Structure 1
Amino acid sequence: MKRFLLTVFLTAASIGGVSAGGLKSLENFVKTVKTGQADFTQVVTSPTREGQAPRVKTSSGRFEFFRPNRFRFDYAKPFVQTIVADGQTLWLYDVDLNQVTARKQAAVLGATPAALIASAADLQALQADFVLADAPDQDGLQWVLATPKSKDGQLQSVRVGLRTAGAPATATTTLAVLEILDSFGQRSVLTFAGFKVNPPMTAGSFQFSTPKGADLIWQ
């Protein structure tokens, strides 16, 4: 499960909501939500094998971002793990292994779910790496299907579920669900709760220092 999480990120109806369409909602989210915080639950389902039930694993934690190019996922359960992008470097800290893996951020975050929800500055930047298409509204959310243009990666597709509420002129769009399908048939569904739009924060919130005694591996 840990390896899948690292690959992924390297790699109810709304009352009074505005049905703006998936792409319009995504554009509004990218343009107007410059910082964000939310709790998340992630459910990873492995593909079904003959004679075996699919394996399902659940984790949870806290997510925040500072657009563009800074975000962090702090996994709290069932194990502690941190993924931080500080604008230059992507840091992966596994507490159990007492190990930090560092990679150049620009080299690994192009066509990834992180780019879709936190890293890109505008829709045009996303369209450089993804084919974006409206998907039907479902469960009170507007959906976008994102397919990587590159066929060399391990990401097959991403569905982004967005919630838009309020009057058209002042509508607010928040991230609700992220459904990730990789090329091995593993599906990861992240559900976000308590989303805070544009809370005060600084780039310094996304600095990472290797804990004393931890192994540091540059890739």
Structure 2
Amino acid sequence: MLKSLLRFTRPLAPLALLAAALSWTLPARADGLSDLESFLRQARQGRASFTQVVSAPRRDGEAAPRSKTSSGSFEFLRPSRFRFHYLKPFEQLIVADGQTLWLYDADLNQATARRQQEVLGNTPAALIATASDLKGLSALFTLANAPDADGQQWVLATPKSRDGQLQSVRLGFRQGQLATLEMLDSFGQRSVMQFGPLDTQSGFKPGHFAFQPPAGADVLRQ
């Protein structure tokens, strides 16, 4: 019986050795948190187009509410600068220059300025544009892997502070690249932002993230 056992096991030994070798060389399966950590550490700057769909919660007995779609471009330079430039259906600009967060409405020719440090804490912008590692984010959000869906690896981020209007954020990564940002506020309104390919190689000219209100604009400082 021993000879029979050896006859059947010896031919399998090379396969076992190969499997052991591959277990050391093959990368571990990606998950949302590892994708997020790589994104924070490696993507020090970037730009991408985006499309955003905002929908209100559906009430009992009511027809499905209409959604609103907008599009534009997103740019960032860690650790403290970013631009969201909404182009359609109307132009709006959100700029963080490192000190001040500017919101500009082109139709109204009105700009609102707030101290960046006071307003960016547990916001989606902190998740994708200003944080540098998971340790910093973990002070503001409870982070957890969410089930894979739509060909993406997901992270669920829940603000630790309950003072704001943000209920939760989900970030989706496709092949290690940020693909989706989904936000749910305390009123049940959902906003889903889909990103195009992220360009992390092109640099920004000095002053790119500065904002100067246009002549004649109303400027509100809060």
State the TM bucket, normalised to the shorter chain: 0.7 to 0.9
User: Measured at CA, do residues 199 and 152 of structure 1 come closer, stay the same or move farther in structure 2, by a change above 3 Å?
Assistant: same
Superposition pairs of residues 169-188 of structure 1, within 5 angstroms: 173-188=176-191
Query: 1:86, 1:211 → 2: CA distance?
Result: 16
Residue 174 of structure 1 and its aligned partner are, at CA, apart by: 1.9
Moved over 6 A (4+): none
Instruction: Tell me the residue number matched to 1:143.
Output: 154
Do structure 1's residue 63 and structure 2's residue 66 form an aligned pair?
no
CA contact (8 A) 1:66 1:203 kept: no
Q: Which residue, 127, 138, 149 being the options, matches 1:116? A: 127
Deviations 1:124-159 (A, max 9, x none): 111110000011122221110000000111000000
Does residue 24 of structure 2 align to residue 21 of structure 1? Answer: no
Give the equivalent residue in structure 1 for 2:139: 128
Which protein, 1 or 2, shows the higher relative CO under an 8 Å CA cutoff with sep ≥ 6?
A: 1
Deviations 1:1-23 (A, max 9, x none): xxxxxxxxxxxxxxxx9841111
TM-score, length basis structure 2: 0.84
Against the structure 1 CA distance between its residues 129 and 136, is the aligned structure 2 distance closer, same or farther, given a 3 Å change threshold? same
Query: How many angstroms apart in 2 are the aligned matches of 1:53 and 1:33?
Result: 38
Q: Please report the RMSD computed on the Cα atoms of aligned residues, expressed in angstroms.
A: 1.5
Could you tell me how far apart the structure 2 residues matched to 1:23 and 1:135 are?
A: 9
CA distance in 2: counterparts of 1:161 and 1:90, whole angstroms: 26
Partner of 2:55: 45
1:40–1:60 Cα contact (<8 Å) kept: yes
Q: Residues 57 and 211 of structure 1: is their aligned pair in 2 closer, same or farther, counting only changes over 3 Å?
A: same
Conservation of the 8 A alpha-carbon contact between 1:34 and 1:198: no
Q: Match of 1:42, SS?
A: strand
* Secondary structure at 2:132 match in 1: coil
- Which is richer in strand? 1
Aligned to 1:135, what secondary structure does the other structure show?
Answer: strand
List runs of 5+ in structure 1 lacking aligned partners.
Answer: 1-16, 165-172
- Tell me the residue number matched to 2:195: 192
Instruction: Report what 2:174 is aligned to.
Output: 163
Distance 1:203 1:76 in 2: 23
Question: Which of the numbers 82, 104, 107 marks the counterpart of 1:96?
Answer: 107
* Aligned twin of 1:13: none
Take 1:176 and 1:119, find their aligned partners in 2: how far apart are those partners?
Answer: 17
| Cα-to-partner distance string for 1:99-146 (whole Å, 9 max, x where unaligned) | 000000000000000000011121111111000001112222111000
Superposition TM-score, scaled by structure 1 size: 0.85
How much does 1:202 deviate? 4.8
SS of structure 2 residue aligned to 1:195: coil
Count of residue correspondences: 195
User: Is the aligned partner of 1:36 residue 2:46?
Assistant: yes
Note if contact 1:159-1:180 (Cα within 8 Å) is conserved in structure 2. Answer: yes
Query: Which structure 2 segments of 5+ residues have no match?
Result: 1-26
